[in-house]
Amino acid sequence: MANSKSAEKRARQNTKKYELKHAQRSMVRTAVKSVVKAIESSDKESGEVFKNAQSKIDSLADKGAIHKNKASRLKSRLNARLKSS
């Protein structure tokens, strides 16, 4: 339990930030899954789905919700999968 006003405020901020980042990371995981699903089903729109996922990943990396190297790794692996299909 927080002992001071500033610690109480920090706890509130951390809770809000956690919920926001958690939702954002979930959105990226869903986007990645949709790309993988599109690739596996040989969907012709998989390139478009990949672009959408790529923009979401870049956006979160810019905000700091995920690390820039993780974002790069995700995009690289998705792109390699897309090209091999």
Kindly report the CATH number assigned to the domain that includes residue 33: 1.20.58.110
Name every residue whose Cβ is closer than 8 Å to that of residue 82 and which is 6 or more positions away in sequence. 35, 39, 46, 47, 50
Rounded distance between C-alpha atoms, residue 64 and residue 25, angstroms: 11
Kindly report, residue by residue over 57-69, the tens digit of the pLDDT.
999 999 999 999 9
Which token pair is 78?
């998705």
- Is residue 7 domain-resident? no
Distances in Å between the Cα of 40 and the Cα atoms of 5, 18, 67 are 53, 33, 27
Rounded distance between C-alpha atoms, residue 18 and residue 21, angstroms: 5
- Is residue 64 domain-resident? yes
pTM: 0.82
In this predicted model, which residue has the larger pLDDT, 42 or 10? Answer: 10
- Is residue 6 domain-resident? no
Kindly report, residue by residue over 2-33, the tens digit of the pLDDT.
899 999 999 999 999 999 999 999 999 999 99
What domain count does the chain have?
1
User: Residue 72 is part of which domain span?
Assistant: 14-84
- Is residue 2 domain-resident? no
- Is residue 3 domain-resident? no
